[in-house]
Chains A and B, each alone.
Chain A
Amino acid sequence: MIEKLQTLWPEITLFIAACAVMIVGLSGTRSIRALCTPICGLALLIATFLSLGGLGGVDITVTGPLPVLASYGKAMVGVIGVILLLLIPGVVDREFDAAPGGPGEAPQPPRAFEAIRSNTAEFHAFFLFSLMGLMLCAGADDLIWLFLALELTSLPTYVMVTISTARNRSLEAGVKYFFLGALGAAIFLYGFALIYGGTGSTNLEAVHASIVAQADAGGINSITMAGFVMAIIGLCFKIAAVPMHFYTPDVYQGAAAPVAAFLAFVPKSAGFFAIMLLTATLGWSFGASGTELPGPVHSALYIIAVLTMTVGNVLAILQNSIKRILAYSSIAHSGYMLVGIIAGPGGGGGADSTLSRNGLSAVWFYLVCYGVMNVGAFAVVASLERRRADGTHDEIDSVADLRGLCASRPLLGWTMVISAAGLLGLPPLLGFFGKLPLFTSGVGAGHYLLVIILGINSAIAAYYYLRLAAAPLLESRDPAESVGGEIVESPYRLRTAAGLISAVGVVALALGLGGPLGSAATSVGQSGFAPSYVGRRAADRSPAVIPAAAHTVDDEPRDVEPAADGSVDGATIESDGGPPDARFDHAR
């Protein structure tokens, strides 16, 4: 119990901070209320520091399907959480701030503070709770824990969507999000229950042991399998993947841009952490080549991935609203990441242990990249407001509103250009280096068709990302268009700062500073299961088709020529590259 608690210091920090902002946010003094943001930021930074093991380095004594995910997953949440936090000021309680007058506009006197009408405290606390849930997901080792963590991630977001603007569409979005979210939760909870029924345990390690035993005894029983498939379909809601994606554009559009940015990253990461843990529990030692997930799960993920990429990208082409484009593209990016899940961590040992081959590492890496790039795009939307004639403000919505931004507001304009080009996967920006391991891991696992579909989808995505990049850079604003009101910069300059941090990250992480991130990703994908589990079934198979040599399975026998000792090259790989099931040697 005590050991378990020790791994939870980051979450505990966030919890304490959340309690603190609940009190501070209710203060009648504006300057004290304004402390909410620094408190949250400090808590997130401390949590990041603690999740990396404090001064002692990453602690790897944790067991479970993906032991290092607990550390780096939480650290990633902390860091990107800070950038997301910069977008938060001004989302709620604007009427109590003195600031809303933009440049050239006389500041309106703030309304008298009414604690009952204020949302600052709740909003910041929910923000932290949600991130806390996401951190708990990363460290989950039990199905019950996982379920509670997922719900802790999601429940605050329903409220955040609803209170993010005073308009009815936020209310609508919140209700829609809540009901569909409850449906998704019900489905994956049902799946978890079936897994428990099929394996007799909720502990992921025990579930894994049971699955290995079942597989050795002739096959995984259908209840377990149905449980995993249902769990994954339910989690599709969190990651906004195809059968459960319908809410995404409406909710993103209805929520304020900072909250939409939050939705695009936090629940998606929670869903991917959960899927990574579940699939790692199953293991990639099934299928004809012994390197796939069990048949039904593999097929389900394959179909979901293809549909998600394609639907997301094709529908994004048809949109005119920036937030809807980003919403559909968020769907598409989930599809890309599923390729890494399908590819799995490789056979183990040698070349397989790097980011290039390990699909799970690639997924984590892509989550970080996506998080960084996506915040930039949403930050630009959040930083621009349309000021109506009656003095009210509204977010910009249409792509046309971005026209000429590079000329009028270079920082915001270039942030948008770089974010869009990064999301498009244009080399040499971060999105390209994020996609590269998805490519290589997919190819390494032998899913060529999937990789081609991924490639073609990246090209389809180029169409709408080019629109997002071209509007600020290449088009000029027609003065006659500003019918709905003049477009001004938001008074909350932290949002611009968030965009800038993101843009700098997209460039700097790609050009030289991404090395540590890559190493972290490499270790995230390593399995923590005892050697007797992982890869055992693969090792049982004939040496010619062990994972590392899987690509020669259906080739002409040209390469496989008996050497002097009678072994084929596949067997040599096994002996030279270390046993494929060698436990990951954690480097500190």
Chain B
Amino acid sequence: MNLALLIAIPLVFAFAVALSRPAQARLLATIGTLLPVALYIVQALGFPWLRGETDFYNTDAIDLFPSLGVRLSLNADTVSMLLIGLTVLLGPICVIGSYTAVQDRLKTYYGWLLVLQAAMTGVFAARDAVLFFVFFEFTLVPMYILISLYGSTNRKAAATKFFLYTFTGSVIMLAGLAYIAWVSATRTGEWSFDLTTLTVASSEYLSNREQAWVFGALMLGFAVKVPLFPLHTWLPLAHTEAPTAGSVILAGVLLKLGTYGMYKFVLPMCPEAALAYAPLVAVVSIIGILYAGLICWVQTDVKKLVAYSSVSHLGFCVLGLFSMTSIGLTGSLLYMINHGLSTGALFLLIGMMYERYHTRSMKELGGLAARMPVWATFMVFFVMSSVGLPGLNGFVSELYCLLGTFQAGDEWAHHPTRAGLGGPLGPWFAAVAAVGMIVGAMYLLYMVGKVVWGPLVEPHGHGAHAHGHRHSAGAPASAPSDAHAHLPADLTPREIGILLPLAALCIFLGVYPRPVLKALEGPTQQMVESLHMHTRGSLQTPWPVGAPPPPRPAHTAPAATDPHDVPANQHPADEPPAAPASGGAGAGSAQEAGH
């Protein structure tokens, strides 16, 4: 029920904002995003972080459309709980960060920001594929409105491109989900879009060829969102045009919907195809890492640079996912959090700079450390975190992603179906991708060197202007009329206040990532075991229709037989079809035997 509250509170406040006077919108939005934070903290304290994958809140699902099998079911496991945490945290930061940046149409702005918050939380909490899709698609609407109303010059085109790209991808994804649901319905006699049912149906009943198609359809939807290399062109445009809060949410959470979808849908639903196409996805990711990195290097617009760096960074994330090792998955999931924190903070910082100078061009800015020492400190800090400086959060996740990729060969070396499939990733992939880290360091440090250090360069005529309005640090920055003129040269306490929690988390996750790693260990290991189990498709026995879906084999089940002794296509024909779980469980423990 608490998950429903996390979604409902922002929605209720969004309605409140719509009905209130513009002057109250800011306050209502702040409360509407801070309340979920408090609620989340309470929930997180009671959450069984170390219990692993099992969904925690056993809320009863409500039938939304019975004849279509659509149910309103929400639940959270460790992974979704972490990502919900990121979403909930970025909410108030975006709202408070927009106090001075947004001055007109406040109701629309804060109202849609709250709706966006609810929709994003819903994506991570949904346990019904259609409900997931509903939330997934509905994030487009507030984002479209935020970009096209509050963006800069080219905002209409950027918003439309953003909408159409994602919409196209996800409609095809829906076709893939519909296919799985149909297969599931023919087997069980009941239409359901329940995630567990779909995962069972897809991973167990689909042939390799079907999986390949479904994989393609699902990946198209999620790859646009991530975005992976050839489909990334909407992102820099959307980022550049979006208002600061839009960029923060886009980079912080919306891109994660793609990688979360890969983790929650693509890998468990199409394990065979994922293994077969892992090299392809990895190559695309690596191209993205290097290509986007090189583009970053030649950018002069700071925001565009950070936008492209998202493309590059999320390449690592996808690489970690498709290493299909526990370490890689852990790294990738952690990367989603870390990227949200550090890139979100970078966009905030760029927004603060833009509010003061009204330019983001590196040609017009330089040596700002002299003018804004606090800002510069945060800038350097978050750039370091983004680059992956050991001791800060980026390092741990990037290392884990690469490590997982490196070890993928060992993990899957004894896999019987390996020969016929594309096969796992390996050291070569990791080695090439690691170059991306260097490129990443190059462009980010180059940017810092130019903007933060060096001789002071300010837009023409700005220096005197800023000096003339230099206030004491405590001056209220939210003066309604011409707030830009009243901003002090350096950061205000409000701005520092929203950056501090992010910085604290970056340090925490960099110095002591163990609790999070520990919490992610269970789900990722379970995922890898399930992947091993379901990439031995020939061991599966078809189920009679009407029989309940087979229980998910527990990974602690004792090994019945050593599957290596049973050739894949010689499964004993006289084994009754009603006992498929034993084959599955045997296959599951094979991974332990193989180690």
Interface residues of A (CB under 8 A from B): 350-351, 354-357, 421, 426-428, 432-433, 436-437, 439-440, 443-444, 448, 451-452, 455-456, 458-459, 462-463, 466, 470, 473-474, 511-512, 514-515, 518-519, 521-522, 548-549, 551-552, 555-556, 558-564, 569, 572-573, 576-577
Beyond contacts A357-B185, A569-B545: 19 other A-B pairs, Cβ-Cβ < 8 A, are: A354-B68, A426-B141, A436-B178, A439-B178, A448-B213, A455-B171, A455-B175, A458-B171, A462-B163, A462-B167, A474-B149, A518-B66, A518-B68, A522-B67, A549-B186, A556-B208, A558-B538, A569-B542, A576-B546
- B25-33, B367-375, B502-510, B570-578: which lies at the A interface? B570-578
Given A519, A522, A556, which contacts B207 in the complex, CB threshold below 8 Å?
Answer: A556
Say whether B179 contacts A443, CB under 8 Å.
yes
Q: CA A470 – CA B145 in complex, angstroms? A: 8
Set A355, A548, A563: member contacting B68, Cβ < 8 A: A355
Residues of B within 8 A of A357 (CB): 182, 185, 191
Q: What are 10 of the A-B contact pairs (CB < 8 Å)? A: A351-B185, A356-B68, A426-B140, A443-B175, A443-B182, A456-B172, A559-B542, A563-B577, A569-B544, A577-B545
Given the complex of chains A and B, what is the CA–CA distance between A351 and B571 in angstroms? 30
Q: Which residues on the A side are within 8 Å of B542 (C-beta)?
A: 559-561, 563, 569
Contact between chains at A564 and B577 (CB < 8 Å): yes
**0 or 1 for each of B150-182: is its CB under 8 Å from A? (1 = yes):** 000000000010011001100110110011011
Q: B65 to A427, Cβ gap below 8 A?
A: no
Residue picked from A354, A515, A563, most chain B C-beta under 10 Å = A563
B178 → chain A, closest Cβ, in Å? 5
Q: Which of B63, B64, B133 has the most CB of A within 10 A?
A: B64
B584 within 8 A of A: no
Residue of A452, A458, A514 near B65 (CB, 8 A) is A514
Pairwise interchain contact A548-B186, C-beta atoms closer than 8 A: yes
Find out whether the CB atom of A356 lies under 8 angstroms from the CB atom of B191. yes
Whether, in the assembled complex, B130 has its beta carbon less than 8 Å from a beta carbon of chain A, the answer is: yes
For residue B189, CB closer than 8 A to chain A, the reply is yes
B62-77 toward A: CB 8 Å interface, digit per residue (1/0)?
Answer: 0111111110000000
Whether A519 contacts B67 by the Cβ 8 Å rule is yes
Which of A350, A473, A558 is in CB contact (< 8 Å) with B208?
A558
Please name the residue on chain B nearest to A557 by beta carbon: B207
* A217 and B400 alpha carbons, distance in the complex (Å): 68
A474-B179 in contact given A426-B138, A561-B541 (Cβ < 8 Å): no
In whole angstroms, what is the CA distance A433 to B188 when docked?
A: 22
Report the separation of the CA atoms of residues A421 and B138 in the bound assembly, to the nearest whole angstrom: 11
Q: Determine the distance from Cα of A519 to Cα of B67 in the docked complex, in whole angstroms.
A: 6
Q: How far is the CB of B112 from chain A (nearest CB, A)?
A: 10
Most chain A C-beta atoms within 10 Å of own C-beta, residue among B138, B167, B188, B541: B167
Asked if A440 and B208 make an inter-chain contact with CB atoms under 8 angstroms apart, the answer reads: no
* B137 on the A face (CB < 8 A): yes
Distance (Å) between the CB of A575 and the closest chain B CB?
9
The answer for the CA separation of A563 and B537 in the assembled complex, in Å, is: 17
CA distance A463 to B144 in the complex (A): 12
Task: Kindly identify which residue among A350, A458, A470, A556 contacts B189, using a CB–CB cutoff of 8 Å.
Answer: A350
In the docked arrangement, what's the CA distance between A42 and B137, Å? 40
Distance between Cα atoms of A572 and B188 in the complex (Å): 12
CA distance A427 to B64 in the complex (A): 13
Enumerate chain B residues within 8 angstroms of A548, measured Cβ to Cβ.
186
In chain B, residues 48-95, which have Cβ atoms closer than 8 Å to a Cβ of chain A?
Answer: 63-70
* Contact assessment for B183 and A551 in the assembled complex, using a CB-CB cutoff below 8 Å: yes
Asked if residues A474 and B148 are in contact (CB atoms below 8 Å), the reply is: yes
Query: Does any Cβ of A come within 8 Å of B429's Cβ?
Result: no
Give A428 to B140 CA distance when docked, in angstroms: 12
Task: Kindly list the 9 A-B residue pairs having the minimum CB-CB distance in the complex, ordered from nearest.
Answer: A518-B67, A455-B171, A427-B134, A459-B168, A351-B185, A555-B207, A355-B67, A569-B542, A356-B191
Known: A354-B191, A456-B168, A558-B208. A564 touches B186 (CB 8 A): no
CA distance A13 to B365 in the complex (A): 78
Is B190 positioned at the interface, with any CB of A under 8 Å from its CB? Answer: yes
Q: Is residue B209 contacting chain A, with contact meaning CB distance below 8 A? A: yes
A433 to B65: give the CA distance in the assembly, Å. Answer: 9
B513-531 residues with Cβ-Cβ distance < 8 A to A are: none
B179 touches A426 (CB 8 A): no
**Given A427-B133, A564-B577, do A552 and B181 touch, yes or no (CB 8 Å)?**
no
Contact check, A577 vs B546: say whether CB atoms are below 8 A apart. Answer: yes
Cβ-defined partner of B130 (8 Å) among A436, A451, A522, A559: A436
In the complex, the chain A residue whose C-beta lies closest to that of B67 is: A518
A456 touching B171 by the CB < 8 A rule?
Answer: yes
Please, which residues of chain B bring their CB within 8 A of the CB of A555?
Answer: 207, 209-210
A203 to B160 alpha-carbon distance, docked (Å): 52
Given A470-B148, A551-B186: A428 touches B209 (CB 8 Å cut-off): no
Contact of B544 among A351, A428, A576 (CB under 8 A): A576
Please state if B69 and A350 are interface contacts (CB–CB under 8 Å): no
Inter-chain CA distance A459–B190, complex, in Å, is: 29
Q: Is residue B40 contacting chain A, with contact meaning CB distance below 8 A?
A: no
Given A433-B68, A436-B68, is A473 in contact with B145 using a C-beta cutoff of 8 Å?
A: yes
Q: Which residues of B contact A356 (CB under 8 A)?
A: 67-69, 181-182, 185, 191
Inter-subunit contact B134/A428 (CB<8 Å): yes
B66:A519 contact, CB within 8 angstroms: yes
Which A residue's beta carbon lies closest to that of B184? Answer: A351
B205 CB–A CB distance under 8 Å: yes
A466-B147 Cα distance, complex, nearest whole Å = 14
- B436 → chain A, closest Cβ, in Å? 32
Give min CB distance, A427 to chain B, whole Å: 4
A440 close to B67 (CB less than 8 A): no
Shortest Cβ gap from A476 to chain B (Å): 10
The reply to whether B209 and A448 form a contact with Cβ atoms under 8 Å apart is no
